[in-house]
Structure 1
Amino acid sequence: MARRRKKSSGSNKFLGGLILLVLIVSAVPKEGWITIGVLAGIALVIYFGLLFSSSKTIPSVSERTNPPPSNTANSSTRRAASSRVNVEVRYGTGSDPVPITKPAPSRATSGFGIPKAPKGFGAAKWIPAGESIAVAGTAVPGGMLYVGTSLTTPSGETDPCLIDPSRSVSAHGDYTEREMGYWPNYSEISSRARRAYLSWLEGGRRDPEADLGYIFLFFYGLERRVLVDAQSDPAAKSDLPLIATELRRLLGIYSERSGSLRHYAGELLNWIELIDHGNDLYEKPIPELPNTSELSIYLRLALGQAAIAGIPIPPELALTWVKHDPAISLRTPAARCAEQFDILFHQRYIDVFGAGLKLPRNRTKLKFVYRPASAGFFSREIKRTFGEVPDVTAVTGPTKKLQKIVDEATETLASYSRLVGKTPEAADTLEGCLLLPMILWPEAVRAPIETLKTRMGGGMLLFTYETLLTELCAQSTLTRAKTQELARILASINIGFEPDVLSGARTPKPESKIVLFDLPPEETQSQVTTEYQAALLTLQLASAVAAADGEFSAKEINHLRTQVESWSHLTHSHHRRLIAHLRLLIAEPMAIGALKKKLDPLRQSEKESIASFMAVVAQSDGVVSPEEVKLLEKLYKALGIQSKKVFSDLHAVSAGETPATDESEQNGFTLDPTRIAALQQDTQKVSALLSSIFTETDDTSPVEDGEEESGSTENMESVAEGILGLDEAHSAFARLLISRPQWSREDLEDAAADLELMLDGALEQLNEVAYDTHDIPFTEGDDPIEVGAEIVEMIAA
């Protein structure tokens, strides 16, 4: 009971206390609870702080390993001992230590160190040409890259070219799309752009459709290697030839798409080529150079050194000059037929200048200012001077002389260029080569003609025109124009062609006979004179008359041959051609009807004039034999003139007017040379009449490809024009200006004087044109004078 009452009393007390607690809690205001909460929080912090500090001081631990086991212990005991560590834990400062045994640390943990960084992380490394490296799961071949996480520019920024493996790379990226700004930086472009760049590198840096920003991003690395590393690092300097090769390869793929790339890559190539230049570049092999908006600094230095030394410019250097100087206009044939143009220019250059063109020493001094493309070198310029070497682009006299030679060579190629442009497969055919001088013919086309010359051996060859074309490997029957070109080519190697198509004879048909004969070296072109035409008509009439009456015998042929050789007023070449024509007449006699058809349109007085002149020709050797008189009578009859007039015409040039005696009729006339000379001088009228007879036209003469008029549109195309529409002098001045970003006034005054310009007036005109064209200035400032970077970009584009 007592226990039961006690228990009931305790319950009542607990219940009463709980009720009292509820009443107290309900009586506390809201603000009080906030205060209580804050105090409770502080108390908890203090409590746990004390708890933590006491836990640190209570266990005092000292660790020691067991001593080495004795030699008498068995191996299992040694292994067990070696795997344990005895630890003494002391609780409090005054308590005795309590021994605890724990396993010894393993040997693997005893050598623990910080892991090495993944490959590519850390200071940047140049990847040599030909080596590969993996970046973001992509195998990048070819090298020539900087890879790492740290590479600073001269200004202290991260170099734009650095491929940083720590940067994120997207799973997809298209390098044909524009993903970057004007000055890309690998560390700042998007992850998609990084993937695209790595994909372009993975493909060998050769896809022509790639966005140009990726080409420049790669170019920045080459630029740094040349301008920074190669200045002090022998290994980097040894890379320069490989970098130059890579630059040329990139230009071969992308230069047509970007004038800016042409400019920067070309300038970097120039810088490489001039690192170890000597004083005689004009004597060294010329490296491959790109075409840019100004003449290459390498060529300017070579030409300037030649000017200093007083050495004539060699033909090879002159040819490179005209091909790379924007001030010299190259029309389409020079580009389309480059090999033929080179040969013609070389030949003509030597003909005009002999050992070579000598350049004056003008006052403008040569300087090279390299403006890097990379933003890592932003606003920095690298300059190089060359002492007293002049800048030859500051004068226009030499380029005018070279332009004349260029124009002559180009005009020679104009027809061939048009033919090749329309029918490329005709380039190495006889038909195509007939439009070129024989010096330009390929061996396969030239060889058959050389064989014919050997067969001819100084004599004559008679065959059909078709046979000739077959032996020369012609692919078609030649038009009149091409036949004339063939005759002209043959004449250039001392082979004559009859009929004389160059003097107006009708083009032979394929089945017609032609004669090739040896042409004297002193006369490789047909030189038609009135005397020759009269002799030719005499020969044709005589052969026609002989063939008509059946008397064209061997005796008559020999007589005509003797007559031809006796005409001393004719040249040796004329004699050779008339004999060849006689050979042609023997094979194919001229019908008297065909001759009369030519002569019928003439008036009787005109026929008599021709007949009288034939009489003069017959007397040119000073004696007229009875045989010649008989021949003249036949010719007069063929012309419709009474034969008795032969004697009156012969007597008109004789010593007197007395009738011929028997002796004179038997032995011939004795002539007055003075009278003959007087009659021969009055030949203008007869010449016109004979020309009308011997100039024949074909019924049809189709125009072939390449035979258009020389003033065609293509023939007028130029590779280079004046800058911004300026004249020659101001264009040359503008090109000189853009070669440097800044000029002293003194240097520009010398340059303007070399071009015979007033400096202030020239600058004003350039600025006016630049504002009108692009709404930007060409130059700014008075001294120094700065060239606007924007206008340089515009001109280079």
Structure 2
Amino acid sequence: MNVLKGFWHRLLQLIRGLQWLWTLDQTYRPRPSRPPLAEIDPREIAPLTAAAPPEEKAPTARWYRAGEACQVQGISLADGLIYQGLAPRSRSACSPFLLDPSLPLAAAIEGPVPLSTAAPQAYADLSPQQRRCFLEWLAQGRQAPHIPVGYILTFIAGLETRILHLLAQPPDLSNPVEELLTLLLELERLYHCYLGIEAVSTWCHQLLELCQVQLARSCQPETLVALLPQNELPLALRVALGLRVQQNQTLPLCLLWAWYGSSGATTSLRTPAKRCPQEFEALLMIHAPASFRLPPDRPVLPPLILTYRSPYSLGPSRSEPWTPPPALEVVRTLEVEILLKTWDPLQPWLERVTHALDPYSRFLGRNPDRRGSPAAVAWLPPEIMTAFGNETVRTLQTWLQQRLAEQPWALVPGRELIHPWAGAGVDKLKKKEADLLRQLLAGFGVGFEPDLASTGTVFQARHTVVLFRLDSQVSHSSAPSADWDVAIAAVEFLAALEMQRPQTETSKPLGENLPLFQTLKLRSEEKVRLEALWIARQHRALPWRRAIAKLKKLTLDEQQRLISLLDQLPTPPPQAARWEDLQHQIRLGLATAEPTAPAPDLADLSAKTDSTPDAPPGIDLPPASSPALALDARLLQARHQDSHGAAQLLAEIFTEDTESPGDGSSLGALPQINSALGLDVFHHQLLQSMGQQILWQRSELEALAAEQGLMLDGALENLNDVAFDHCDEPLTEGEDPIAVNDWVYQSLQAA
């Protein structure tokens, strides 16, 4: 046994010796030298690779603008205005309010989940149930009424972070300004939605001022005014005006008017500015200068310094620490309230606009339900007619443009003007309505003939009307020229002569047919209107008696100018004899007539002879050269005086118990004649009484006629004959009740 143990011991020593010899051989064996680097093939060098770090998702956190939709763990947020995505490893100011989709979220909740404090919370610090509640409030439009205030403040804190980021951008960039507008609108919405929560309304108000200040520095004045709240003095307006005063710039009109309205100064304005504020502002912006220079002796203004401090301090969250921004000086400018209380550059312009809108304001005061109608728009200044008219006004303006698109004048049926104004069933406008229609069309730069202002008559639906363009540079409300009445009377007279000629669709211009009109002292717009009247009368001239009546209404001086005008008329060959005869008659009639005489003298009546059968009706013929019977005018006058004395004597003897009808004159007195209408005093008095109302019972008019000693039917027939002669229409219509045509009555009164 001992022999065996010795054998194994010697064998183990032998193995250890062989191992030691092999190690010596490997250590001291000579090695081949290393070749030069140039001889090494780069492909033989194995690449060195480091250990790959654990896989990490790239950060995706960003700001979603208003209306930009996103999804957070299956919940759709369509309105934007949030930070969402995976947060980067580095610290970020948006991290506390970042909606991180990697954080756990509860599957469902029942009702709002309360928070531990009524202050902003970091999204990472919320529990899964609280995150679910916050995301559902965002998804439902951020307007749920019963929501813990901490969720609302957390959302507002994210808006604050974005606003402060935009304030750090250059103010001339358009994108920050546009985004500030959207943030301002969202803050206003939250302010009104949660007005009862003081913490929300206070913070929203501070951020709104912050946005307003930035907009005042960056926006154009017109854009800024459109964003300002009404009926209050916003901070943005004070800053915008203060910055311009500080830099000695001109003050824009829109900013001054906004200050005027916000500071309560409009309460001192008169009724037009209060009754029609939109029309007032539009007209002011057109007429007043676009900007005003500062007064050289302006007072020293105190500084206006605005700072902002976040009302909440969000403590360190479990995820990342966050500190609210320090106090920030937003703007340093001047306080302009003192300046604008002592300097009012708008006052003279406000007076002008008030005067221009006064007729329109009075019309709206009587007709508050007709705003925008054609009758209301007719009282507006032409500059703003289109902007404040209704669909009827816009349709009428389009129709006028189409009619006068490629020609200076156009012939249209009268119904195409009357029906849009008064309705399809109306055939004639009243005098006041015709005046308003003329004002409305003049505002659109269009005139028409025959017009009430020039001819004294109102066209009807069946008549032909001439539309023509007016000169936009001319004031059409100025008084007519001295020769205007003469020119109108001459056109009416000459058109009546032309009635026997065939009517054509077109007529030669007045300047070619009647060169003598160029000698009259007329303005250019009056010549255009005169030519339009001439064209209209080619289609419907006045009756001969009415044309002569117009001539006799002229003054003596105008009659003399008309006679001189007629002497220059060219003689048409087809009607030479009749032309000379009528020309002679009218010259003689005008020269001997006295339009203002109350009654014709008997001596003048005795000199007149019977008219020939061939003469047109209504024309006074000259006295015969050799009368068949000579009357002694002095003897006739003496007989008349004797008869008058006898009538007075008989009236004293045969006195009735009751008062005599009429105006109380004696029975023998001759009735006075109204020379303009040809009515005696009784018919004239009845006409005056009928004008008191437009609808009479027959018994009432019979009583009025009896007071004048007249029979009603005969009196109405006489009055209607006079109305036809002067107005081409009857005075009354109907049997019982009896309607009085107001326009005819007014025309007879003006005659």
Please, what TM-score do these two structures have when normalized by structure 2? 0.46
Please, what TM-score do these two structures have when normalized by structure 1? 0.44
Bigger RCO (CA 8 Å, 6+ sep): 1
